[in-house]
Structure 1
């Protein structure tokens, strides 16, 4: 059994780096964490129906629920079950705009490249020419560099598709996309999404301006994969599976809601919580203290909002809490079961 007090200010400082105990399965880094999230999600009948409706209709799924009810876990479960590959994620905040989700054009880096080209051309003298003629040639060279600033092979290197743009442009479509906490967005973002959600396509202005000279331009997806954009327009080959999550902190306009399949995740009941704990911690399914801890969690949830992962945390630490005094165990539960209100 691991020692509870990893950090003890009354003990002597360690002479070398302390090796921490293994983290909970859902707190492992990278692909392992995502695999655990996908395999342990427990869908209700309502959620299963909503997902299937969204898949058939090629509509985005808007999931509403309190923090910690598993809203973002759903998309990982669907992606794993259907073999949709890595989930693309667009985390939303108050500054998020549609452009960010579609693509990014690095204008500053492009300008720096042009300036470097001009500097190299101006600094390269032609042998055997008088200084005055060399200066005129330098001016012409700089003008030529500026005129070729829209060289398409180079221009595409400065365009990177965002998570939504990458999902629409994916060659291995359909992809799964999580637009997380869309209710935290600026008021205009849901309306701005309408056109893209309807048509599944969008334009890249920087490429459209030069499309007549070369229709096809290679850009990069958010994962660094090459994507060919034709005539400055990205169009989907297969509509992505999109899950948008909301904590219910705001209302959305009717035109936006009409284009979504809506589903609400309630707080899981006692039976569902027990199933979730067993899925995450199968080795602890027979723990005699699990039922007591579950009842403690439910009692505290009636007094203030609690998330399911708080129960998982408490159950995971149950073996480490054994042997501690009752007072110490209560203090730890107070830390673990802090209300989210």
Structure 2
């Protein structure tokens, strides 16, 4: 790389001199807009045999449990299904050790309601509707009645509490749940408008019960960090995504950055394959390296390729 080319790609130079930043175009997968990611979903390639498993889950109205090493596209699969089937914005429930089914169904701001009710009484105004203080969570929004089913990503289920899969059994089997705060209301308040998780509207809840008319498209991801109970597995269709082979990696690079770049990045692809072991490198790391190369970055510089293709496991 020439000296001028090196200077053009080095936005930060580490010399303590303040300069106006001119940011270059971002990679397609790192572009955002006020409403989220930019329009035009990223391409997602899946083998026909894996697409068949997705279709089996769709036909059976069962959750799809997707397992596989990091970087195999488990979460991206949910976005691809939502896009291809035109199911609207993907609902996302990122699971952690504190996650509960109740919070994924709905949240009730009792303190906020008490405060606003008191203020309204003091001003001689009508009390705000209880629905103003209830918002359905991602799971609750997915189960609410819609013209077409919603798509829900339950991300990294194995990071949740050990009882979380069992807590989901009834909800997944029945497709219904109750909001006790609404069920206790008098008959004349049987229908209440509550907010949804996507912040784009509301749904009507009758007598405190939310019941789906079409079971949502549910994609559950797992990194295989622990086993799930048989009762939970029985209610899921399982898809194990393998690491993509060389042919599929070439197809992924071509789909994201254009087939014309493949000849000039073959050495990066071979370096990726040599370094890769299950769980140690992810496909998007290869895309990162290819993007930098095609934008004139010298990846042979000291430590740069190692920084981009760093191992995902065994690091302190």
CA shift in 2, pair 1:52/1:237, >3 Å: same
1:90-239 to structure 2, matched below 5 A, reads 90-120=93-123, 154-224=129-199, 225-239=201-215
Is residue 173–residue 238 contact of structure 1 (8 Å, CA) maintained in 2? yes
Residue 249 of structure 1: aligned partner = 225
Report how many aligned residue pairs link the two structures: 306
Is residue 95–residue 186 contact of structure 1 (8 Å, CA) maintained in 2? yes
> Residues 71-121 of structure 1: CA distance to partner in whole angstroms, max 9, x if unpaired?
011111111111111111111111110011101111110111233245446
Query: Which one of the candidate residues 83, 86, 89 is aligned to 2:89?
Result: 86
> Residues 142-199 of structure 1: CA distance to partner in whole angstroms, max 9, x if unpaired?
xxx9xx9xx7x61111111111111111423211111111111111111111111001
Residue 280 (structure 1) aligned with residue 256 (structure 2): yes
Residue 311 of structure 2: aligned partner = 339
Q: Which has the higher helix share?
A: 1
> What SS is found at the alignment partner of 1:164?
helix
Unaligned runs of 5+ in 2: none
Is residue 94–residue 156 contact of structure 2 (8 Å, CA) maintained in 1? yes
Residue 17 of structure 2: aligned partner = 12
Is residue 65–residue 71 contact of structure 1 (8 Å, CA) maintained in 2? yes
Residue 137 of structure 1: aligned partner = none
Matched residues in 2 for 1:32 and 1:270: separation? 32
Question: How much has 1:222 moved relative to structure 2?
Answer: 1.3
Unaligned runs of 5+ in 1: 122-144
TM-score of the superposed pair, with normalisation by structure 1: 0.84
> What SS is found at the alignment partner of 1:116?
helix
Matched residues in 1 for 2:277 and 2:81: separation? 31
> Residues 304-338 of structure 1: CA distance to partner in whole angstroms, max 9, x if unpaired?
7100000000000003455x484x1x521010011
> What SS is found at the alignment partner of 1:255?
helix
1:292-303 to structure 2, matched below 5 A, reads 292-302=267-277
Residue 62 (structure 1) aligned with residue 65 (structure 2): yes
> What SS is found at the alignment partner of 2:129?
helix
TM-score of the superposed pair, with normalisation by structure 2: 0.90
> What SS is found at the alignment partner of 2:210?
strand
Matched residues in 2 for 1:325 and 1:313: separation? 11
Question: How much has 1:32 moved relative to structure 2?
Answer: 7.5
Is residue 87–residue 178 contact of structure 1 (8 Å, CA) maintained in 2? yes
Residue 129 of structure 1: aligned partner = none
Moved more, 169-178 or 233-242: 169-178
Question: How much has 1:291 moved relative to structure 2?
Answer: 1.2
CA shift in 2, pair 1:22/1:34, >3 Å: closer
Matched residues in 2 for 1:48 and 1:120: separation? 59
Is residue 66–residue 266 contact of structure 1 (8 Å, CA) maintained in 2? yes
Residue 290 of structure 2: aligned partner = 315
Structure whose CA Rg is larger: 1
Question: How much has 1:18 moved relative to structure 2?
Answer: 0.9
Matched residues in 1 for 2:130 and 2:250: separation? 55
Is residue 207–residue 231 contact of structure 1 (8 Å, CA) maintained in 2? yes
Is residue 167–residue 173 contact of structure 1 (8 Å, CA) maintained in 2? no
CA shift in 2, pair 1:39/1:170, >3 Å: farther
Question: How much has 1:39 moved relative to structure 2?
Answer: 4.1
